[in-house]
Structures are given as C-alpha cells and as structure tokens.
Structure 1
Amino acid sequence: MKVIICGAGQVGWQIARHLSGERNDVTVVDSNPDLVRRATDSLDVQGIAGFASYPDVLDRAGARDAEMIIAATYSDEVNMVTCQVAHSVFGINRKIARIRSQSYLQSIYSDLYRRDHMPIDVVISPEKEVASAALQRLSAPAAFDTEVFMDGKAQLLGITLEDECPVVNTPLRQLTDLFSTLRATVVAVRREGTLFAPEANDQLFVGDDCYVFAHVDDIPRTMEIFGKKQQKQERVVIVGGGNVGLAVAQSLEARADRIRVKVIEKNRLCAERAAEALERTIVLNGDGLDAALLAEAGIARSDAMLAVTDDDKTNMLACVRAKSEGCNYVIALINDPTLVPLMAPLGIDAYINPRATTVSSILRHIRHGRVRAVYSIGDAEAEVIEAEVLSTSPLAGRRISEIEFPEGVLVGALRKGKDVIRPLGTTRIDEGDVVALFALATDVPEVERLLQVSIDFF
C-alpha cells in the first residue's frame, strides 16, 4: 500500500515507523527538513520537505498513485486543506486528519466533513482520545495501563506485581486450573525492560508488569487475585483546565455516581472558560505546584489527581507534590517517552502517552481486515488488535490450538454473539466471532495475514 504521511513530528514518525516496518511504500512530508531527514535516516521511507497542503509538494510525494493520506501536522487547517487537495486534485481514496480545535469537532458541524464539503474520511482528535484514556485510568486505579475492548465488555489491564500478590511464582497453566471460572488471560509480561508473550509454563515474579485481558464483570476479582485493591473514586483533582482537563471534568460531571471534581488552571482566561463550561465543578485559578492551592483543593482527601497540562515536567512535579500532600493515586500526562522510566521512582501511579493514544486511533483505521480496535503498547513494542473474523480468514473454523500463531501472539479474548469468553486451546473460532489478539511488533504483519480479507473490505 502506498501511503503519504504529512507531518514528521512524534505522531507522524511513529505511524511511519509502523507502516514502513510492514513493507508499505511510505513517503513523509514536512516543512521542517530536519524532521524529514530524521525520518529518512532512521526509517525505510522516502521524504519530501515542503508544505503538505501545496499540490506540487503532494505531487512530488507521489499523490497520483497513493491509496491513503494521513494529515498529522501541527495545524488543523493545513491538515484539512491537505485532505481537500488530496481528494480534489489527486483522487486519493482514504483521507485521515488529526484535528485539535474543539470548534471543528462540535457535533452540530459534523456535516463539514462530508465528501461534497471537506472530504475527510476519519477525523482523529488527540484531546478526546487522551481524555478517554484518562477516564479509563480512573476506572481501574490499581492498574498502570488500561484499554477497553469488545464494546466495553472486556478490558486490558496493566498490573505491576508486588510482594503481596498471591500468584507470584505460580505457572500460568496452574492459574487456569486454580481459577477455572475467571474470565482473564495474561497476554504479556514485561520483565527487566523486555516485553514478551508468556507460555503456559512461565511463572510470574515480583516486579513483573503483566498485561491481563479480563471480562469487565471479572475485573474486581482479577485485581484481587493479582494483589490489588479496588478503590472508589469519589473526589478527583485535575491540574490543567485546557481541552483535555475540561473534557475529563465534563465526562466526570455527566456520570451518575456524582464524583466531586476540582480543576486547577494557571491561565486566567483558560480557567474562566472552564468555569463557564462546567456546572458542578469548582475551578481554581493558580499554579498546580502551589502547596497552599492544592490544600485548598482538598488534595489530602482526594482519591485521585490527574496532571494534564501541556508541560511534562509540570505534570510530573504536580504528581509528586500531590503524593507528598497525601493523595493516594496520581496520573501524569507524559509526551516524552524517555521520561517514563522516572514514573516509578517518583511514585507516580500511572501515565498517559498522547502519542500512543493518537497512534492507536490512526492504526485502527489503516489495518487490513475487519479491524475494530488497535491499542499500541509501550514505545510501539506491541499491539492489541480486535477484529471480526471473516470467512476468508485462516482463523475461521479452526480451534485455537490448531492455528500456527507466531511466538509473540496470544489470543486475549473472544466474543461469540453477545458473550465474551476466555479463549482456551479447544475453543473454536468461527466466522463472525470477534477476536482480540496481542502481538509483538515484529509479528503484526502475520496477524494481519491471519485476519486478511478481500480488498473490498479495506
């Protein structure tokens, strides 16, 4: 497949890395020659320096025979015009645009992206994706990572094993026997920095980071088995009242369980805007690192604190300060992946990577097969892919034990009709089933082959 990626920043580079690694013909376009050079030097891609919305630049990038364009520059307007030019001048079939401004995303203006207006097939909003990720972290506070699958009926949980975990030093095969009714499957383990798909005889050790697929009804029991206590989130403090913080606060306000939320925002105009948009939430204008202001927000009595400003270091320091003031659970928004190893030493319970959430959203729309969801794990080390099994797939009509999966691939969950079940070796996968597969990055192309369909479905 020939793909043009406009924007060679963090998101564009990561998408190019994924697609070029799967032997697609990728061209990266950016107005910054240094970013283009970084992409061409480190990835198997072609590069064009120039403005993505210019027809002659797209022509040089090979737009005349491209099958897809992904506009992920820092400018909403450039992304929108790029898709318009790609459609009107070059007839590119699939157009994906990253759009940040909430004004462009209001539902009353949804007709804007129709084919006869501004022809964009998929609109990705980083702020909405990050807000959704933050809410998922709050829903499972004992997990360092979480993502929803199977229309909300299954969840991927990242769990760090500690001394009090009752199942350490236990082979996974034995776990299946001990908890035969538990709808949960360990699909990945990170040990001493290395991520791998475990085998049935592998044991779990203290310090391991485990990724577990669990039925939503079995999450409390799963967390208990892995030594984690579930805590109710009744009082939440949000540091940062921008688009992300505002979206999280609005979602928490809309919930039926009446969570008490307080927002701290340094910029006065931004704080006033948040106060006008929120009904029951208290908005405080000031610095989220100020101990007196945190005390006024009731940080010591809060169940959780989210730091979602646009500055990584501010978010990390706000979490450290909140923890020192008595807050049990803190979440930081971190753009720079090199800062992630500092999370545990600083006592930060969980983090959200905007790049990973945006990349996951874009990958969902460019994978082969009837893909329903994609979640990128770590620094693009692995993916969880949820897809419908079609009649043309090599999976259809076979038992899991009969399928030659690569070593780095495990089946996390399977939905038959309305029921989500724990997959066993004897489980047969049929046409129409929905399967969730964990795959190390090197094995993703093989997973795509197993999910392959005719080009009409792409």
Structure 2
Amino acid sequence: MKVIICGAGQVGWQIARHLSGESNDVTVVDNNPELVRRATDTLDVQGLTGFASHPDVLERAGARDADMVIAATYSDEVNMVTCQVAHSVFGVPRKIARLRAQSYLKADYSDLYRRDHLPIDVVISPEREVAEAALRRLSQPASFESEVYLSGKVQLLGIQLEDDSPVLETPLRQLTELFSTLRAMVVGVRRDGTLFAPEPRDQLFAGDQIYVFTHTDDAARTLEIFGKTQSRQERVVIIGGGNVGLAVARKLESAAHRPRVRLIEANRARAERAADALERSIVLYGDGMDIEILREAGIDKSDAVLCVTDDDKTNLLASVRAKAEGAGMAIALVNDPTMVPMMGPLDIDAYVNPRATTVSSILRHIRHGRVQGVYSIGDAEAEIIEAEVMSTSPLAGKQIRDIEFPEGVLVGALLKAGDVVRPAGSTRLDEGDIIVMFALSKDVPAVEALLQVSVDFF
C-alpha cells in the first residue's frame, strides 16, 4: 500500500513507524526539514520538505498513484485542503484528516465532509479521543489502562500487581483452572521494562504490569482476583480547562451517577468559557499547582484528580501535589512516552497518552481485512486488534491450536453468534466471528496476513 503522511510531528512519525515497519511504501511530507530528516534517518520512509496542501508537493510525493493520504499536520485547515487537493486533483481513494477545532466536529455540520463538498473519508479528533480515554480511566480507577472492545462487551484492563496480590507465583494455567467460570485472560505482561505475551506455564510476580481481557460483567471480579478493589468516583477535580478537560467535565455532568466536579484553569478566558459551558460543575480560576487553589477545590476529599493541561511536566507535578494533599487517585495526560516509567516512583495511578490514542484511531482505518479496532499499547510495543473472520481468511474453519500464530500473539476474546467466548485451543473460528488479539509490534504483519482477504476492504 502506498501512503502519504502529511505532518511529521509525533502522530505522523508514529503512523509512519507503524506502516513502514509493515513493508508499506510510505512518504512523509512536512515543511520543517528537521522533522523530515528525523523521519528518514530513523525510519524506512521517503521524505519531502514542503507544504502538504500544495498540489506540486503532493505530486512529488507520489499522489497520482497513492492509496491513501493521512493529513496530520498541526493546522486543521491545511489538513482539510490537503484532502481536497488529494481528491480533486489526484483522485486519491482514501483520505484521513486530524481536526482539532470543535466547531468542525459538530454533528450539525457533518454534511461538510461529503465527497461533493469537502471529501474527507475519516475525521479524527484528538481531543475527543483523549477525553473518552480519560473517562475510561476514571471508570476503572483500579487499573492503569482501560479500553473496550466487541461493542463494549469486553474490556482490556492494565493492572499493576502489588505484593499483596493473591495470584503471585501461580502459573497462568492453574489460574484458568481455579477460576473456570471467569471470562478473563492475561494476554500481556510487562516485566523489568519488557512487554511479552505469556505462556500457560508462566507465573506472575509483584511489580508486573499485566494486560487482561475480561467480559465487562466480570471486570469487578477480575480486578478483585488480582488484588484490586473498585470504588465509585463521587468527587473529581480536573486540572486544565481546555478542550479535553471541558469535554470530560461535560460527560461527567451527564453521567448516570453524576459525580461532583471541580475544574481548575489558569487561563482566565478558558476558565470563563468553561464556566459558561458547564451547568453543575464549579470552575476555579487559578494555577492547579497552587496549594490554596487545590484546597479550595476540596482536593483532600476528592476520589480522583485528572490533570489534562497542555504541559506534561505540569500534569506530572500537579498529580504529585494533589496526591500529597489527599487525592484518592491521580491520572495525568502525558505526551512523552519516556516519562511513563516515572509514574510508579511518583505514585501516579494512571496516564493518558494522546499520541497513542490518536495513532490507534488512525490505524483503525488503515488495516487490511475487516479490522474493526486497533489500540496501541505503551510506546508502540504492541497492538490490540479486533477483526472479523472472513470466509477467505486463513483463520476460517480452524481451531485456534491449529493456527500458526507467532509467539507474540494471543487471542484474548471472541464473539461468536453474539456471545462472548473465552478462547481455548479447541475453539474453532468460523466466518463472521469477531476476534480480539494481542500482538507484539514485530508480529503485527503476520497477524495482518492471517486476516487478509481476497479483496481489501477500504
């Protein structure tokens, strides 16, 4: 597949990293020569310096025979014009644009993206995606990571194992026998900084970070078995009143149990905008690092603090200060993946990575076969892939034990005839089944080959 990626920032670089590693023909375009040089020096991609929305630049990038254009520059307008030029001048079949401004995303204006108006096939909103990810973290306070699959019937939980976890030093095969009715499966373990797909004989140890697929109805029991307790978030403090913080506050206001929300914003204009937009939440104008402001927000009585300013260091330090003042748990928005190892020593409970969230959203619309969802884990260490089994797929009609999955791949959940099934070696995959797999990054191309059908579904 020939792909042109416009924008070589964090998101563009990560998408290029994924796609070039899977033997796609990738060209990266950016008007910053340093970013283009970084991409070409570190990845197997071609680079071109120039403005992505200019027709001559797109032509030099190979737009005349490109399969897809991904517009992920920092400018919404450049991304929109790039898709228009790619469609009108070069007839590129698939166009994906990242748009930040909320006005472009309102349902009232959805007709804007029709092929006879502004031909964008997929619109990705980073702020909206990150807000949803933050809400998932809040809904599962005992886990450091949470995603949903199979239309919400299955959850992926990231769980940090402590010294008092009752499952330590027990082989996973034995856990399956002990909890035979539990619809849950450990698919990934991060130990000493390395992520791997465990085998049935492997044991778990204190300090491990594990990734578990569980039926949504069994999520609370799964957490309990691994030594975690669930609690409802009644009081939430949000530090940062930008698009993400405001979106989370709005969602919490409309939630069924309606937690008490206090939002802190250091910019007066943003604070006033948030105060006008929110009905039940209290908005405080001030610095989220200020002890007095935190105390005025009732940080010592809060069940959770969500730090979502546009500065990673502020989010980390505000989380630490909030926990020191008595916050029940802290969730930080962190763009730089190299800061993630600091979470444990700083006693920060969970994080949201906007880059990984946006990359996952874009990858979902790129994969071959009937891929319905893709989620990137850690610093692109692994992917969770949700896909439908097609009649022409090598998977169809085979038992899981007879399929030549790479060592770094595990089937974590399966939807068969509308019912969630915990996969076993004897489980047969049939046409129409939807599977969810954990795959280390190096094994993703092999998974795509297994999912490949006779015609690409784009």
Q: TM-score, normalised by structure 2?
A: 0.99
Query: What is the CA deviation profile of residues 400-442 of structure 1, one whole-angstrom value per residue up to 9, with x for unaligned ones?
Result: 1111110000001000122111111111111101100000001
Q: Find out whether 1:341 has 2:380 as its counterpart.
A: no
* Counterpart residue identity of residue 201, structure 2: N
- Which range moved further: 419-428 or 39-48? 419-428
Q: Find out whether 1:178 has 2:178 as its counterpart.
A: yes
* Counterpart residue identity of residue 32, structure 2: N
Q: Which residues of structure 1 form unaligned runs of 5+?
A: none
- Which range moved further: 399-408 or 120-129? 399-408
- How many Å apart are 1:98 and its aligned residue? 0.3
Q: Which residue of 2 aligns with 1:61?
A: 61
Q: State the alpha-carbon separation in 1 of the partners of residues 110 and 27 from structure 2.
A: 30
- How many Å apart are 1:267 and its aligned residue? 0.5
Q: Find out whether 1:10 has 2:10 as its counterpart.
A: yes
Q: Which residue of 1 aligns with 2:361?
A: 361
Q: Which residue of 2 aligns with 1:90?
A: 90
Q: Which residue of 2 aligns with 1:155?
A: 155
- How many Å apart are 1:364 and its aligned residue? 0.2
Q: Which residue of 2 aligns with 1:236?
A: 236
Tell me the secondary structure at the aligned position of residue 151 of structure 2: helix
Q: Which residue of 1 aligns with 2:143?
A: 143
* Counterpart residue identity of residue 119, structure 1: P
Q: Which residue of 2 aligns with 1:316?
A: 316
Q: Which residue of 2 aligns with 1:202?
A: 202
Tell me the secondary structure at the aligned position of residue 374 of structure 1: strand
Q: Which residue of 1 aligns with 2:387?
A: 387
Q: State the alpha-carbon separation in 2 of the partners of residues 201 and 30 from structure 1.
A: 48
* Counterpart residue identity of residue 379, structure 1: D
Query: What is the CA deviation profile of residues 323-346 of structure 1, one whole-angstrom value per residue up to 9, with x for unaligned ones?
Result: 000011000000111111111111
Aligned 1:2-401 pairs, distance under 5 A: 2-401=2-401
Alpha-carbon contact 2:369-2:456 (below 8 Å) kept: no
Q: State the alpha-carbon separation in 1 of the partners of residues 339 and 398 from structure 2.
A: 44
- How many Å apart are 1:455 and its aligned residue? 2.5
How many residues align? The count is 458
Q: State the alpha-carbon separation in 2 of the partners of residues 167 and 419 from structure 1.
A: 28
Query: What is the CA deviation profile of residues 66-119 of structure 1, one whole-angstrom value per residue up to 9, with x for unaligned ones?
Result: 000000000000000000000000000000000000011111001000000000
* Counterpart residue identity of residue 454, structure 1: S
Q: Which residue of 1 aligns with 2:451?
A: 451
- How many Å apart are 1:456 and its aligned residue? 4.7
**RMSD of Structure 2 on Structure 1 (CA):** 0.6
Q: State the alpha-carbon separation in 2 of the partners of residues 442 and 136 from structure 1.
A: 28
- How many Å apart are 1:307 and its aligned residue? 0.2
Q: State the alpha-carbon separation in 2 of the partners of residues 209 and 17 from structure 1.
A: 25
Q: State the alpha-carbon separation in 1 of the partners of residues 242 and 35 from structure 2.
A: 28
Tell me the secondary structure at the aligned position of residue 187 of structure 1: strand
Tell me the secondary structure at the aligned position of residue 345 of structure 2: helix
Q: State the alpha-carbon separation in 1 of the partners of residues 338 and 429 from structure 2.
A: 40
* Counterpart residue identity of residue 66, structure 1: A
Q: Which residue of 2 aligns with 1:415?
A: 415
Q: State the alpha-carbon separation in 2 of the partners of residues 361 and 406 from structure 1.
A: 25
Q: State the alpha-carbon separation in 2 of the partners of residues 157 and 263 from structure 1.
A: 27
The list of structure 1 runs, each at least 4 consecutive aligned residues, that deviate by more than 2 angstroms after superposition, is none
* Counterpart residue identity of residue 174, structure 1: Q
* Counterpart residue identity of residue 304, structure 2: A
Q: TM-score, normalised by structure 1?
A: 0.99
Q: State the alpha-carbon separation in 1 of the partners of residues 151 and 259 from structure 2.
A: 24
Q: Percent identity?
A: 76
Q: State the alpha-carbon separation in 2 of the partners of residues 79 and 22 from structure 1.
A: 25
- How many Å apart are 1:397 and its aligned residue? 1.0
Q: State the alpha-carbon separation in 2 of the partners of residues 11 and 456 from structure 1.
A: 25
Alpha-carbon contact 2:389-2:431 (below 8 Å) kept: yes
Alpha-carbon contact 2:368-2:456 (below 8 Å) kept: no
Alpha-carbon contact 2:267-2:285 (below 8 Å) kept: yes
